[in-house]
Amino acid sequence: MPDLVWASATELAGELVAGNVTSVEVTQALIDRSRAVDDSIAAYLTPTFDRALVEAGAADERRARGDALSAFDGVPIAYKDVFVTRGVRSTSGSKILDNYLPPYDATVVARCSGAGMPMLGKLNMDEFAMGSSTENSGYGPSRNPWDLERVPGGSSGGSTALVAAGGAPWAWGTDTGGSVRQPASLCGLVGFKPTYGRTSRSGMIAFASSLDQAGPITRSVRDAAALFLVAAGGDPLDSTCLKEEVPNVLEGIDRGIEGMRIGVVREFREGSQPGVQTLFEESLTRLEKLGARIEEVSLPSFEHGISAYYLIAPAECSSNLARYDGVRYGARVDGDDIVQMTSRTRAQGFGPEVKRRVMLGTYALSAGYYDAYYGKAQKVRTLISRELEGVFGSVDLIVTPTSPSTAFKIGEKTQDPLEMYLNDIFTVPLNLSGTPAISIPCGLSADDGLPVGLQLAGPSLDEATVLRAAYAFEQDLGFSERAPL
C-alpha cells in the first residue's frame, strides 16, 4: 500500500478499485496532511473538509454497490478559487467577491464531481489570476513548500503549494499567461495547459477570455493526462469550448519518443539563471538519449510575446471586470449616486495589480490609442501563431525552460510589476497561440536546490504528443524529490 499522502491519483484509484483502502480513509489522510501544512503554506482560502468526507462516504457506498461513477470515484481533488462552486464561497482571490456564494458549479468542477471526486476545498491565487506569485491575492500570499520564504509561483500558487506539500494528489488551476505551468515549475510539479477550447470556461471567473484555459496540476504526467480526460470536451455553456472529440491521450503515452523531432527555440536558449540553464541543457541531452532529434528553430516574434500579452490581457480584463459594479453580486460600498457607489466599490474591492491592469487595458482600447496598442498587439499575436505553425511543419514539439528562474523570495519582485511579468516570457507566447504545453520537473537547481521546470509545447490539439514526450522524460529522469516540509 502506498503512502496515501504521496500516492498519485492513479495509484489511489488503483487501491480503491482493489478494495485496499476506502475513499474516507484517503480523504481523511489528505485532510490531516492539509491541516498540518496549511499554517505554513497558506494554500486554502476555503477548506471544505466536512463536505469532502461526506462525498467520500458516498463514493465508498457506490463502490461497494458496484456503481462507481468513474475510475477516479472517491479520489479527492481541490480547485483554484477561480472556479465557481455551488454554495461554496468563490473569491477568485479578490475581496470584491469575499462573500460570493455561486448558484452553480463550473463545468470543470461539475465533471469532476460527476466522476465522484470529493472536493477538499478552494485554493489561493493572485487576485483574478493576475500575477506570478500569489502575492497579489487579496488574502495574502501562499508559500512554497520547498522554502517557506519563497513564492509558490502564480497565479495558481495555492494549488501548486498544496499538491507539492502532499495535501492533495492533484488540483485544477488556470493558465492565462503561464499560471499553471510557472507555479508547477517553481514547486516541482507537472502543470498542463491544454489547447485553448479543450476545457470549458463556463464557471471560470473570467480574466482574459481569449487566453484563459483550465489545466491540471499534478505530481505525475499520467495524472495530468487522466485529469484532462475527465474534464475535456464540448460544453454547450461555453461557445468557445471545442466540440472536437478528445483523443484518449493515455493510450500510447508510454510509446516513447524515438525519432521525435524537438525544436530548441534559439531566441530563448539563453537568459535564464545559470542553474536553470544547466538543467535545460542536460534535459536536451536526455531527450536526445531517449531518441529525439534536437534541432534549433527560430521564432523571432516570441520575444514580443510579453509586450503583446500585456496589452491584450489587460484589454480583455478591463472589459471583463466591468461586471463588478456592486449591483448583482459581490461587495458594495455605498455612495450618494450610482457612479460614486460603483467607483467606491471598485476602489475598495480591487487590489493594486487589478487596478493597474484595468487602467492599462482601458488605455490600450481607448480611441486614438486602440490601433497603436491593442490593434498592433493582435497583429503580433498573428505573427506568433504563424511562426509557430511554420516551425511545427519541421518539428513535432518545441522545448524551453518553463521559467527563467527558480522560486524567488516573497517581496523580491513586488516593487517592479514589469520584472514580475518577465517571469512569463517563455509561457505567454503559447497562450497567444492557444496551443498545448506542459511543464515537468527537470531537476533541482545547483544554485539554490529549488525545482526547475522544462516546458514542452506542441501544435494545436496535439496534447497526445506533448504528454507522450513529457511522460518519456519523466520516466527516464525519475524525479522523486519532495518538498522538505
Could you list the residues that contact other proteins (CB under 8 A)?
99-104, 196-197, 210-211, 236, 239-240, 242, 301, 304, 306-308, 310-311, 326-332, 334-338, 340-341, 352, 355-356, 359-360, 363, 372-373, 375-383, 385, 416-418, 421, 432-435, 460
Active site (annotated) includes residue 379: no
Cβ distance to other proteins smaller for residue 3 or 334:
334
Cβ distance to other proteins smaller for residue 285 or 340:
340
Cβ distance to other proteins smaller for residue 3 or 337:
337
**224 close to 192: Cβ distance less than 8 angstroms:** yes
Of 8, 23, 34, 80, catalytic:
80
The DSSP line for 330-391 is S-----SSHHHHHHHHHHHHS-HHHHHHHHHHHHHHSTTTTIIIIIHHHHHHHHHHHHHHHH
Q: Cell 522554502 maps to which residue?
A: 147
Closest CA to 426 of 448, 444, 389, 452: 452
From the CB of 273, what's the least distance to other proteins, in Å? 21
H or E segment to which residue 77 belongs: strand 77-80
Active site (annotated) includes residue 298: no
From the CB of 111, what's the least distance to other proteins, in Å? 19
CB within 8 A of 320, min separation 6: which ones?
206, 207, 208, 209
Cβ distance to other proteins smaller for residue 145 or 434:
434
Would you state the cell numbers that stand for residue 261, as one nine-digit string? Answer: 523531432
The DSSP line for 191-224 is EEEPPTTSS--TTBPPS-TTT--EEEEESSHHHH
Cβ distance to other proteins smaller for residue 87 or 449:
87
- CB 67: neighbour CB atoms within 10 A? 10
Closest CA to 43 of 12, 3, 9, 78: 78
Active site (annotated) includes residue 409: no
Query: Where does 248-320 have alpha helices with state H?
Result: 274-289, 305-320
**165 close to 37: Cβ distance less than 8 angstroms:** yes
From the CB of 223, what's the least distance to other proteins, in Å? 26
In the three-class reduction of DSSP (H, G, I as helix; E, B as strand; rest coil), residue 287 is classed as helix
In the three-class reduction of DSSP (H, G, I as helix; E, B as strand; rest coil), residue 271 is classed as coil
Q: What is the dihedral of CA 66, 69, 71, 75, to 10 degrees?
A: -110
Of 133, 155, 185, 200, catalytic:
155
The conformational region for residue 164 under phi > 0 = left, psi -120 to 50 = alpha, else beta, is alpha
Sign of the C-alpha dihedral, residues 40, 44, 45, 47?
negative
Would you state the cell numbers that stand for residue 291, as one nine-digit string? Answer: 531518441
Which residues are known catalytic residues? 80, 155, 179
